[in-house]
Structure 1
């Protein structure tokens, strides 16, 4: 795997060491895409050779995969790729849709003027990212977009629940944004969410967020067939 480079003392470019987050992101994408089969072992020694790192970042990356329910740690076997069925994905998106819908209802009533302006500005930035096909940047901005809504609920427990579910779904949500057409649809769905929030309309916001998550689920499930 080729990585970023940095100049060493001789002035030559040397590979930058990969961090656990980068390794986890790569493995997540491969698991979601089906490169790794359910039940396959994620061997630490093989992964250290593949990524050219010590065991510490590999172990941290594997811990992240387990936390996101993409892998299971089994006694005497190590870390095994989880069996991610269509039914399981549907359940996660269903739960996320209801939680985000509730967050939207509260945020429509409780977000400050400054928070609504920040959301609108971020939405405008995301339009440019969508048009340029900057998938990674759009994905990062998408996380901030939804986090602004979570924070707007003014409810610590609800925000915590939303973030826990979002963490588990993050690889799937990123996966479904790999299509330029899906990014465009996502942005159009965000437009409905933003307008409902700016209008302080709880019911419209709730409905728009639920539809947004169902649309993302449909894209993921279509790619899994």
Structure 2
């Protein structure tokens, strides 16, 4: 577990930061794949955790949600639009091609069983010192979380900071194969960029301490 900023910890779940979750104050954001549970629980062993939140209910974010919530006896939160997938475990239903072999692989080996959602989150909801930001596109109900006083942004999968095939570090749009609406996601990228984030924490790729990289990337989109 790596301390990123005040009360913000990255928990890398795959080599090269290929899949990450985060402890923000006493809140666990995302939970990797089904086999990530032991890694997460070990990282949280000496930490108090009050709740678990999903940026979105894809297999590499909700995979260990059920075991984490049941083991730590904590409630699960997500957006209203992500609630069905979070509860029923059908995490590929929004994929452009749910019958693609990678989609089927994720559903069979990565996705966790569903877990009851305690409550839903929407734009502007306060999450500790963070604010929930609705950032649809990669999935319909995707959420990001922003802390204004120091510019820390939990991106989720609106952007990745690595090429998921080569694992080479760098900003990318999320893969089309797993993104329900690329154009709407681009609007969400611009929405997040307008916040002027200083520290970006991704679902995939290392944390970025922004020195103009985000702004340069935005220029390549249009």
| TM-score, normalization by structure 1 | 0.22
Between 1 and 2, higher relative CO (CA 8 Å, sep ≥ 6) is seen in 1
| TM-score, normalization by structure 2 | 0.23
Structure of greater Rg: 1
- Structure holding more strand per residue: 2
